[in-house]
Structure 1
Amino acid sequence: MREITGFNMTQTINVVDAMCGAGKTSWAIQMINDTEKVGFGTSEQYEKKYIYVTPFLDEVDRIQKATDIDFFEPEAKGTKIKSFEALITLGKSVATTHELFKRLDLNILDVIEEKGYTLIMDEVASVLEQYDISKSDINLLINNETIEIGENDKVVWLDDDYKGEFSDMKILAQSDNLILQNGVAMFWTMNTRAFEAFDDVYILTYLFDAQSQCNYYKANDIKFKKYSVKNTGGIYELIDYDPKIEPRKEVYEKLNIYLDDENNKKKSPLNSNYDSREKLTQKQRYYQLSSSWFRKTANPEDLKQLNNNLRNYFRQVEPTENKYIFWTTISDFAPKLKNAKCKWNKNNDRTNDNFVALNARATNSYGNCTSMAYVYNRFVNPMEKNFFREYEIEVDEDKLAVSDLIQFLFRGCIRNNEPMNCYIPAERMRTLLKRDGLMLVLSF
C-alpha cells in the first residue's frame, strides 16, 4: 500500500468515539483544566499547550470561556494564518476552526512540533477534497510545463511565476498536498504532518469507522485507538471503546419517524409520491433522493411534490412552529424545496431560515427543535471511492450514510433526550437508521 503523503506516524491517534451528548467536549475541557502549572513567579506556565479545533466560531468562544488556560483566537488583522503563526511562535494555546486548520503549511507545522502542542479536534477534519478541474485543463497544464506528476502521483508545480486561473491550485501543490488520480481527477489531501507534528492528538467524534478521516488514516497506515467516555457523578474519564454503554435503542425509540404502513404493506404518501416514474424497480427505489436522482431523474413536478410534502408534514402530520423545525437537502436544490414551513435564504439568518447544511456538526443551535426533515440519500462520491480503492481501502457507503444522518438528527432536541419528529423520505436512509444506525450495537 502506498502512502498519500509520505510521512511515517509514530504516535497513536486517540479517537474519542461516543454518541452526541455523551460528554466528549466536557471531558476535553476537564482535561485542559486539570493541566498543571510549572515554574515560579513570572516564569510560571502550564505544562501543556493546546490547539483546539472546532467547526464553528461560537464553539471557539465556548472553549475560551470554559477553560482555565487562556485560549487565543487568531485575529483577522492581516491574515488569520499569520496571526495563528504568531500565536504559536509565542507558545500560546489557540482555539480555531477546521477551515483555518486545513490551511496550515509545513513551516507552521514545524513550529508546532518544536513548541510541543496537544491537538484536540472536535469532529473529524475534511482530509480529502476533490479539486474542481477538467481533464483537458490538467493536460494543458502538463503540456505547458506548468505542472508535472511526480512520485505517488503528486502534482509538482513548476512555474513559480504563475498568476493565472489556477493560482489556488499552485498553493495546494506547493504545500505537497495535491494528487492526480488515474490522470482524470485531482484531490487535495491533508498532509499527515498536520497530525504528526503534535505530541498528542485527540479526535472527538461519533462512528469514526464510517468517516473519511478513518479511511485516510488507514491509507497512510496511521495508528489510532478508540475510546468511550464514562461519566461518573460529573467526572469524565476515557475507557476502552464500548458502544454497548450507549443508549442507542432508547434514543431510536424517541424518534417519531414517518413510516410506511407496515401492516397493510403500503407506501405512506409522503414517502412515495415524489417520484413520477411508473413501476419503479428495487434498484430505482434504492437510489431515490440521491445526488444523481436530484440532478438527472427528478423533473419539476417531482420537486414540486417534495415541496408540498415538506409543507404538509410540518402543517398536518406533525404540526410544528417554524422556529422548532430544521431541515436539509442538497444545497443546490434548497431554493426549489423552500416553502412557508421550510425556510431558506443565502444569508443564513436564523430568524428567517431553518435550513441546516447536510454536513452540520458540533453545533447546539438547534437543540430546541422538535421536528426535522432529511431530504437526501447519502452516497460516496465515486471519485472519492476510487481514490481510496487505490490504497486498498474499501469505503463502507452504508456506514457513512447512516453516520451523517445520525449526526444531523443530533442537531435537534434528541440530543437532550427529548422525543423528536422525523421526516426521512428516502427508503434506504430509513432502513439504514433502523438496521445499521442507532441499533447497531452488535455490528461494531
Structure 2
Amino acid sequence: MSVKIIDSIMGSGKTTWAINKMNTASPSQKFVYITPFLDEVQRIKREVNSRTMIEPNSRNGEGTKLRSFKELIASGFDVVSTHALFKSADDELIGAIEEGNYTLILDEVMGVIDRVDIGKSDINALTTSGLIRVDENDQRVHWIDSGYDSGRFNDIKLLADSDNLYKFKNLFVWTFPPQVFSAFKETYVMTYLFDAQIQRCYFDLFGIDYQKFMILDNRLVNYNRSLENREAVFKLINIYDGPLNSIGEERFALSTNRLKTYSPKVISRIKNNLNNYLRNIKGAKGGDILWTTLKDKQRALSGAGFSRSYVEWNIRATNDYADRSVLAFIYNRFINPYEKVFFETPPRNITVDDDLLAVSDLLQWIWRSRVRNGQPIDLFLPSARMRNLLLSWANYEI
C-alpha cells in the first residue's frame, strides 16, 4: 500500500476536500480522521453529515479514551480524534483496524519520534544487567529478560517489546509503530512541504511507500509545486527591512541555543527591538498582534500591550488568529540536533532538510494570521537566515 501525501499549500482546501470525501464515500467505507486540535474534531463532527463521526471518550471500564477508540473501531464506527490519542496506538488497536475497512486521513504530520525520559546511567544499568540487548545493525533495543514482570523499567520494557525503541548514542528514542499505516486500507496525510517534515524521514526509515498529490480546483491531482501560486501569498507579506534586524544577521542568531545563552543585555536589546517594531513603528494594539519566540523566552521578551498576543512558533491548523495583521517571528528554526543526527547517522543515512523545515514552520505560523483571508500583513523577521529562506521559497528555489 502506498500512502497518499496531499502536499498542498495552505488555503488550497485540504480539509474541505477531506470532508467532501467522507460525505460522498460509500457507507461501507469507514474512516478514522486524526487532527491536532480538539476544535477541528468538533468541526469534523459538525460538517461530515452523511455519516456519524464519533469522538472517543473515557466513559468505559478502563476509564481511558484509548479503550473507547478500540471499542469504536471493533464495532465499525467512524472515528475522529487527536494526534495525542492516536500516538498511543498499540497492537490491539492495530489489529482492530486491520479487521475493518478503514481509511485514515491524517490532518498534518504528527510527532513520530521522541526522546525517551531515561538517563545514561539507567541505560548502562539495563545493558550490564542483561535486561536488554541492542542490535548492532539498526540499534533497535530488545528486552531479553522474560522473567521481568514489573518494576521501575516497565515502561522501557513495553516500548522495547513493541519494537519501537532505539538506542542512539546515550539516548533512547521512541518511534511511532509503522505497522499502523499498513493496517489501513488507504492512508492520506494532509500537509505542506512534506519533504521537510520529520514524518518524511520516518517513512524513509521504515520503507513506507508514498506518492505526492495536491489539491487544485477542489480535485486531487499529481503534485506539481509550480502550480502552488506562492507569489500570491508572498505579495501579502510586508517584511520589515531596517536597523532592528541587526540582532539577527549571523546564521545562528536567535536559534534555540543562542536564545538560551544570550546575556541579559542582549535579551533586553531583543525585547526593545520587538517593542519598538510593534508599538512604535506599527502602532499596533494587542488585538492586532501575533508574535512568537522560543517558549522559554516568552516571559523575558513580553512587553506591555502584547504579552497576551504570544502564540507558539509550531502552532498549526487553527483559525483563532485570523484577524491578526502585525506579526513578529523572533526565532531562527533549526531541527532538534538529536533528530537530525538520529536520521543522518549510518546505517540510516536519511537526509534531513533543515532549511526547508524552517520555512515550512514559518509559513504555517504566518498562515494563522489574516493572510489566510487574502489580507496583507506586516512581519518583523529579524533572523537574516529566515528572511532569506522565505524569499527562496517565494522564488521556488527551495
Give the TM-score category using the shorter length. over 0.9
Question: Deviation per CA, 1:306-344, whole angstroms, max 9, x where unpaired?
Answer: 12222221111112221221221111111211121332x
Deviation at 1:131, TM superposition (A): 2.0
Which residue of 313, 318, 334 maps to 1:358?
313
CA RMSD of aligned residues (A): 1.7
Q: Which residue of 2 aligns with 1:326?
A: 290
Q: Which residue of 2 aligns with 1:384?
A: 339
Which residue of 254, 275, 280 maps to 1:311?
275
1:289 has 2:267 as partner = no
Deviation at 1:126, TM superposition (A): 0.9
Counterpart amino acid of residue 48 in structure 1: Q
1:112 has 2:97 as partner = yes
Q: Which residue of 1 aligns with 2:39?
A: 58
Return the alpha-carbon distance in structure 2 between the equivalents of residues 70 and 438 of structure 1: 41
Partner SS, residue 228 of structure 1: strand
Deviation at 1:147, TM superposition (A): 3.0
- CA 1:160–1:71 in 2, change beyond 3 Å: closer, same or farther? farther
- Aligned pairs for 1:184-223 within 5 A: 184-223=170-209
1:430 has 2:369 as partner = no
Question: Deviation per CA, 1:37-84, whole angstroms, max 9, x where unpaired?
Answer: xxxxxxxxx121000000000000000000021000010330110111
Q: Is the 8 A contact 1:29 1:66 kept in 2?
A: yes
Question: Deviation per CA, 1:245-297, whole angstroms, max 9, x where unpaired?
Answer: 2221121111011124xxxxxxx1x212x48xxxxxx8xx110011111223x
Q: Which residue of 2 aligns with 1:271?
A: 245
1:413 has 2:370 as partner = yes
Return the alpha-carbon distance in structure 1 between the equivalents of residues 155 and 312 of structure 2: 25
- CA 1:160–1:83 in 2, change beyond 3 Å: closer, same or farther? farther
Which residue of 152, 159, 163 maps to 1:172?
159
Partner SS, residue 73 of structure 2: helix
Q: Is the 8 A contact 2:13 2:215 kept in 1?
A: yes
Q: Is the 8 A contact 2:238 2:378 kept in 1?
A: yes
Q: Which residue of 1 aligns with 2:55?
A: 73
Q: Which residue of 1 aligns with 2:168?
A: 181
Partner SS, residue 153 of structure 1: coil
Return the alpha-carbon distance in structure 2 between the equivalents of residues 336 and 137 of structure 1: 35
Question: Deviation per CA, 1:147-198, whole angstroms, max 9, x where unpaired?
Answer: 332473222334643332x54434333332111124x222111111121100
Question: Deviation per CA, 1:369-408, whole angstroms, max 9, x where unpaired?
Answer: 1111111111122221121113121111111111111111
1:227 has 2:209 as partner = no
Q: Which residue of 2 aligns with 1:252?
A: 234
Among the aligned pairs, what percent are the same residue? 39
Q: Is the 8 A contact 2:83 2:110 kept in 1?
A: yes
Counterpart amino acid of residue 369 in structure 2: G
Structure 2, unaligned stretches of length 5 or more?
none
Return the alpha-carbon distance in structure 1 between the equivalents of residues 161 and 279 of structure 2: 53
Return the alpha-carbon distance in structure 2 between the equivalents of residues 147 and 339 of structure 1: 51
- CA 1:368–1:167 in 2, change beyond 3 Å: closer, same or farther? farther
Deviation at 1:95, TM superposition (A): 0.4
- CA 1:89–1:160 in 2, change beyond 3 Å: closer, same or farther? farther
Q: Is the 8 A contact 2:70 2:92 kept in 1?
A: no
Counterpart amino acid of residue 309 in structure 1: N
Q: Which residue of 2 aligns with 1:26?
A: 16
Return the alpha-carbon distance in structure 2 between the equivalents of residues 147 and 367 of structure 1: 50
- CA 1:12–1:339 in 2, change beyond 3 Å: closer, same or farther? same
- CA 1:171–1:364 in 2, change beyond 3 Å: closer, same or farther? farther
Q: Which residue of 2 aligns with 1:265?
A: none
Q: Is the 8 A contact 2:3 2:211 kept in 1?
A: yes
Deviation at 1:220, TM superposition (A): 1.8
Partner SS, residue 341 of structure 1: coil
Return the alpha-carbon distance in structure 1 between the equivalents of residues 108 and 343 of structure 2: 21
Which residue of 360, 366, 377 maps to 1:403?
360
Q: Is the 8 A contact 1:311 1:341 kept in 2?
A: no
Return the alpha-carbon distance in structure 1 between the equivalents of residues 315 and 237 of structure 2: 19
1:49 has 2:36 as partner = no
Partner SS, residue 119 of structure 1: strand
Q: Which residue of 1 aligns with 2:395?
A: 439
Structure 1, unaligned stretches of length 5 or more?
1-10, 37-45, 261-267, 276-281, 344-352
Counterpart amino acid of residue 179 in structure 1: Y
Aligned length: 389
Q: Is the 8 A contact 1:53 1:101 kept in 2?
A: yes
Which residue of 100, 103, 108 maps to 1:123?
108
TM-score, normalised by the number of residues in structure 2: 0.93
Which residue of 10, 13, 29 maps to 2:3?
13
Return the alpha-carbon distance in structure 2 between the equivalents of residues 167 and 419 of structure 1: 53
Return the alpha-carbon distance in structure 2 between the equivalents of residues 129 and 196 of structure 1: 21
Return the alpha-carbon distance in structure 1 between the equivalents of residues 197 and 81 of structure 2: 22
Partner SS, residue 340 of structure 1: coil
Q: Is the 8 A contact 1:154 1:180 kept in 2?
A: yes
Partner SS, residue 118 of structure 2: coil
Partner SS, residue 186 of structure 1: strand
